[in-house]
Amino acid sequence: MPSLAEALRALEGSLAIARRDPDASRFFDLSADSFWRSFGAVIYLAPIYLVFTFAEARMAAEIGDPSVTVIPSSGVLLTAEMVTMLLEWFAYPIVIFFLAPQFGLGKRVSTYIIVYNWSSLGIAIVMLPNFLLYLVGFFPVQMAILVNFGLLLAVFWYRWYIAREVLGAPAATAIGFVVLDVVLGLFIGLSIASLIIGQG
């Protein structure tokens, strides 16, 4: 499990990347041991993900999402979302670990995955206030959705920038990796929703 000090330093590195600091890598431990520890960032991410889960469930109910025909119990919802989070957490790094070398990007893939994993925690922290403000009633659902959409656009750019600068992918290839990340997440989320929650 990564220490809190390592997590805070990696978060500082994630912010440095967003500022386009050319020396942002200095904040990350890029050793072989750190590669595996970076997956432990999910421990810090899980409580934030729970907030997202309940906020999104409330949003779906409030806007009357027609795709939500069954409202699961809190326990079922929590189980489904935790399974989804864990699958998403490992799916993209595993795929990219084998895919990147096919594009001649194998030399930097371990560094990329370390930064990708830790930046996921940074992204979640940035997105957290919007969901909290919605849950406490400060933001109406329309405002929360609008803000979330804007944040997601920024996240897509950030993911693209990491693929470009850390992995060294050409611009078009980096776009493809971001699309792959999104598609994997959607596929996993919809599959778990169908299998565990059920759709009607």
Q: For 82-103, what is each residue's pLDDT tens digit?
A: 888 889 899 999 999 999 999 9
pLDDT band at 199 (very low <50, low <70, confident <90, very high): very low
Q: Which residue did the predictor score with more confidence, 106 or 79? A: 106
Instruction: Show contacts of 105-112: CB within 8 Å, 24+ apart.
Output: 105/167, 105/168, 105/169, 105/173, 108/166, 108/167, 108/168, 109/167, 110/30, 110/32, 110/35, 111/25, 111/28, 111/30, 111/166, 111/167, 112/162, 112/163, 112/166, 112/167
SS3 185: helix
Q: Which residue did the predictor score with more confidence, 198 or 85? A: 85
Which pLDDT score is estimated for 174? 96
Q: Which residue did the predictor score with more confidence, 61 or 133? A: 133
The span from the CA of 41 to the CA of 79, in Å, is 19
Q: What average pLDDT does this structure show over 167-176?
A: 95
Which pLDDT score is estimated for 200? 43
Map tokens 């609008």 to a residue.
146
Model-wide pTM > 0.85: yes
**Domain total for the chain?**
1
| 46-58 confidence digits (pLDDT tens) | 899 889 888 888 8
Most confident listed range (29-38, 69-78, 121-130): 121-130
Which pLDDT score is estimated for 56? 84
Q: What percent of the chain has pLDDT over 90?
A: 62
Which pLDDT score is estimated for 179? 96
Average pLDDT, the chain: 88
What is the extent of the structural domain holding 173? 4-197
Res 77 pLDDT > 50:
yes
Res 160 pLDDT > 80:
yes
Q: Which amino acid is at 156?
A: F
